[in-house]
Amino acid sequence: MTGVTRRVSVRDIESLAPDGSSGAVIVSDDNDNLYVTKFSHNGQGGPRLLVNEFVAAFLAQPLDVPCAPPYILDVDGDAIRRGAAVLKSSPIYEEQLPTAGTAFGSPVVAK
């Protein structure tokens, strides 16, 4: 395999991801790098969806399939609390915020 999965800590929840209904959000780390992620409570398959997306991204690398590299994101409770207003603006999270823990994400790619 060519790629190594990177792990980062999420500092803030920045916004809902545009153009979608999957509950994807944009988050940032301590270096202001942006990632798109879905939480396990995402309304489209929960943790199984996240595992499928992670495995697909990881396998795409050695096959030279265009795909953003996979990251493991550590999301703590403080980030969830600070981002509560952003999260609650999505129908997926308006009644139940995601829980702190591990999430899968990819760097935001400029269009």
99 three-class SS: coil
CB 29 within 8 A of CB 8: yes
Handedness of CA 43, 53, 47, 17 (dihedral sign): negative
pTM (2 d.p.): 0.82
Domain residue ranges in the chain: 6-107
pLDDT (tens digit, 0 to 9) for every residue of the chain, 111 residues total? 445 678 999 999 999 988 766 778 999 999 999 999 888 766 666 667 777 777 887 788 788 888 888 888 999 999 999 999 999 998 888 888 988 988 888 899 776
Distances (CA, A) of 68 to 7, 22, 72: 14, 18, 13
Which amino acid is located at 14 in the chain? Answer: E
How is residue 23 written in tokens? 């509950």
State the Cα–Cα distance between residues 14 and 104, nearest whole angstrom.
16
